[in-house]
Amino acid sequence: MKRLNVKKIIRNFLVALICVIVGIVGGITVLMNTDSEIFAEKTNKTSEVALVKESLKELSEWTTLKYEYENVIVSRTSKTLPLPGNHDINYAEAIKLIEYSGYLKAGTNLKEIQLILDEETKQASVKLPKSQILDNVAETKKMKVEDIKGNILSDYPPQTIIDEINSNKKQLEEEKINQGFLEEADKKIKIMVTDFLASHGYVVSVEFY
């Protein structure tokens, strides 16, 4: 009888041990599957955000605001002959008419976009850098320079033309900024980004920093 009881105890112990081992293995499997699902979900979300960001970067050229202009400058140079009594005589005045065209571009750097997508609520939160001037180009190869006044003694260095154009470029840029050119660029970018994400089913909020 004692031998039977010992065998019975051993058998029951082994059965219990096997059950514990099976339970532990099952628990580990469940945890691993859960972690895998969570990791896969995070990976999918990260991949989706990255994909949307890349798509938005491709819109960079479309989101810039361009202002084309034509300008005319009247440029003067002269030589003076000093005379007693603080009286100077201009004896070699040169006047040139400079016609040129150019453009301004304003926009933001979409590579610095901060994007949060919520798949459950279909909410998209977007933060973008404020617009800035990206290009200020004067097409000097197409410019026209007309002599209005001058003579053989006149001295008008070619660099003066470039200096005049650069000075006017800067002045025009400041005028356009004061007129709200950068704010117009922000509005254009906001509309483009909102429409793009809305086409993917998101309700979009856009902020500039």
63-92: per-residue pLDDT in tens? 899 999 999 998 877 666 565 666 666 666
Residue 46's pLDDT is: 61
With b meaning 16 or more CB within 10 Å and e meaning fewer, what string describes 7-21? eeeeeeeeeeeeeee
Residue 124 lies in a domain: yes
Judged against a pLDDT cut of 80, whether residue 61 lies above it is answered with no
Query: What is the residue-averaged pLDDT of the chain?
Result: 79
The pLDDT confidence band at residue 43, using thresholds 50, 70 and 90, is very low
**112: its two tokens:** 């610095």
- Residue 25: inside a domain: no
Report yes or no on 35 lying in a domain.
Answer: no
Answer whether residue 29 is part of any domain. Answer: no
* Separation CA 4–CA 16 (nearest Å): 18
- Residue 9 resides in a domain: no
How many Cα atoms within 13 Å fall on the side-chain side of residue 79? 11
Q: Is residue 86 part of a domain?
A: no
Residue 138 confidence (pLDDT): 94
Is the pLDDT at 151 greater than 50? The verdict is: yes
Give the pLDDT of residue 17. 58
Number of domains in the chain: 1
- Structural domain contains residue 78: no
- Over residues 145-174, the mean pLDDT reads 82
Cα separation, 86 vs 97, in Å, equals 30
Where in the sequence is the domain holding 64, given as residue range(s)?
A: 44-72+101-143+156-208
177 vs 175: CA distance, rounded Å: 5
- In the chain, the largest separation of any two C-alpha atoms, in whole Å, equals 144
Is 117 a member of any domain? yes
